[in-house]
Chains A and B, each alone.
Chain A
Amino acid sequence: MDTNALIAVMVALPIASALFLNLLDKKDRTIKILAIITAIVIPIIPLLTPYGSHFFGGYVPLAQNATLAQGLPSLITGTQLFQFHPGIMYVFTSAQQLMVFVLGLITFFAIFTFLNETKRPSGVYAFLMFMGTASVSAILLSDDIFNIFVFFEIAALAQVGIIVASGIKNNYETALKYILLGNIAGPLLLLGIVILLGVTGNVNVTDMIFTFKQGYVDPNSPVILMSLALITFGWLYASGLPPFHTIKSAVYSKALPHGAALLQAFSVFTLVAIGIIILRLFSYNPFTNIAIIGISVIAMILGITMAIVQTDYKRILGYLAVGELGYIGIGLGLGTAFGITAGLFQAVNEAIITSFLFIGFGTVLYKTRTSNTRKLGGMMYVNPRVALLVLLAGLAMAGVPPLNAFQSKLMLIQAAIQSGLPELGIIMILLSIVTFMTFMKAFYTIYMRPKPKELEILDNKIPRSTVISLVALLIICIILGLFPQIATNSLQTLAVGLV
């Protein structure tokens, strides 16, 4: 089997660039050039990389390396050791290609907006954004569960850094709370991983599945179920599903709009990546799917209903984003190829739409320096074109045709009915309506009602780059809404492999 080094470049390039950016202090022009070049290259690499695997250090399984396997005792060649992957392996299929590409695209828009909205861009902030992107790309690509844990921790640190760098009131408190919880969830996730290592002798997911299938380990043993519970706990933290929905929405609200756009993409793709690992390892146990669906329904209900009562539009978006994660979880939890495809498609759509909303609503913060909906109003007259773009983003999130989330939500409802769970379809429709109402309420308050007298609108013009980013995101939403097969064809192969 050939090893494909370009797969590793998807992770290595943002890390290398991040490290350089971190060293650049007060060299604004150099920071801008390096950051924008990296941001352009990141989404291009997955498009140029052929599908395949990358074995770090060139350590392919002995079964595929005739030279190394020569002369080895039967203790190795005659056992499962011969099949195992001795090093870290990254796998790159059409599904990973689409998700890494979308993550790269969101990184590009976030960096593009950041560089143009900030007079003196910070190299450290760009470092954090690229480190986060590299980590989540690695989580998506890696077939090694310990490697996933390492990047899970790096991603958490990058997220904390993005919150700290925002300078928003009480950001340090939120950062501390998030990292304290992360330091409980991280070791517990690791404990789940090492329990699997203890019983299977491996950290490679493919090898673990091989061990289960060959009957070397009883997959129904209580120890394995304990491991499932611990890994699921880590998954809930990383993705912001309940009970971590409150802190996750707080994290979004304490980041700058471009940072929040990126943070929610990290949550979405981490949810998908670790969710897929859970399905691959534990889907033989029907309880896994029931648990995923149960958590997802709770996330939808809590996220969307808590959004209604918020008075900070960043918190509203944060809770809506958490609610939307529930749709992805339901798709994964249904366990059918169609359901998983729909869930993955919803993940791609949500990452794009929520970034669209965060960057769009970010223009309000840029013009008024407040995100409190009680103090806002009349923003429609300030910039009607941006207001229209934000409205379209909200309609996309609610699942209004012909925008992209309509297609994925429709697929999810069809998948729920096909799986004999029409109740889930009804819940999803009702919550989409509530999402629409919540968004329209926020939109009316910020844009359409008369401007409060005490609201001061700053003179600074919304950068053209922000408007370009919003238009580009809208075009992507329309394209995926009209031609969903562009995404679903890529995601289907992975979904079929999971069933």
Chain B
Amino acid sequence: MVVDSQLMSFFTAGSLVVIGIFAALFLDNLIKKIIGLAFLADGVNLFIITMGYKPGGIVYIFLPDMVVSNFAQTASYPLPFALVLTNIVIGASTLAVILGLVIILNKRHGSLSASKILRDKGE
């Protein structure tokens, strides 16, 4: 049986999103929550990459010896890849801020338990 690689990739992305949301909402350990958030962001990135995948497509760089019409028909769509690059940068920055906050809160409370640190404190 031949499995469609694009479909499998979409399935993996969906799984990462679901696992990520579950971990971020239901796990108590803050580091595990952060790993869940990273899963969620990576799931969305994989979804975008998979969407931009074109079977048999070529890289979207127009070289001097290329014919415009051939290029237009065969090149994959560059926009999803540009979005992923931007989102990776955003994700890394946000993750750095979250980890910084967790380091400070861990020093203050001596714990990584979200229920201990966040209950009735942040509201």
Contacts and interface: CB of A to CB of B under 8 A. Distances in A.
Nearest to B24: A184
A191 B123 contact: no
B22 to A, nearest CB: 11
A172 B105 contact: yes
Interface range, A side: 35 or more
Tell me if B's interface is mostly helix, strand, loop or mixed: helix
B72 A73 contact: yes
Contacts of B41: 183, 187
Interface in A416-434: none
B86 A170 contact: no
B123 to A, nearest CB: 5
A411 interface: no
A250 B80 contact: no
Given A179-B98, A183-B94, A170 B44 contact: no
Contact of A150 (B25, B37, B86): B86
A183 B51 contact: no
Interface stretch (A36-44, A196-204, A450-458): A196-204
Nearest to A176: B101
B21 A184 contact: yes
Nearest to A183: B37
B83 A75 contact: no
Contacts of A247: 122-123
Nearest to B102: A176
Contact of B108 (A160, A172, A183, A201): A172
B44 A194 contact: yes
Contacts of A246: 123
Interface string A162-177: 0010000010111111
Interface in B57-93: 68-69, 72-73, 77, 79-80, 83, 86-87, 90, 93
B118 interface: yes
Interface string B43-60: 110011001000000000
B97 interface: yes
Contact of B48 (A76, A156, A182, A194): A194
A157 interface: yes
B105 A176 contact: yes
Nearest to B33: A180
Contacts of A201: 77
A27 B72 CA distance: 54
Interface of B: 17, 20-21, 24-25, 30, 33, 37, 40-41, 43-44, 47-48, 51, 68-69, 72-73, 77, 79-80, 83, 86-87, 90, 93-94, 97-98, 101-102, 104-105, 108, 117-118, 121-123
Interface of A: 72-73, 75-76, 146, 150, 153, 156-157, 160, 164, 170, 172-180, 182-184, 186-187, 190-191, 194, 197-198, 201, 203, 246-247, 250
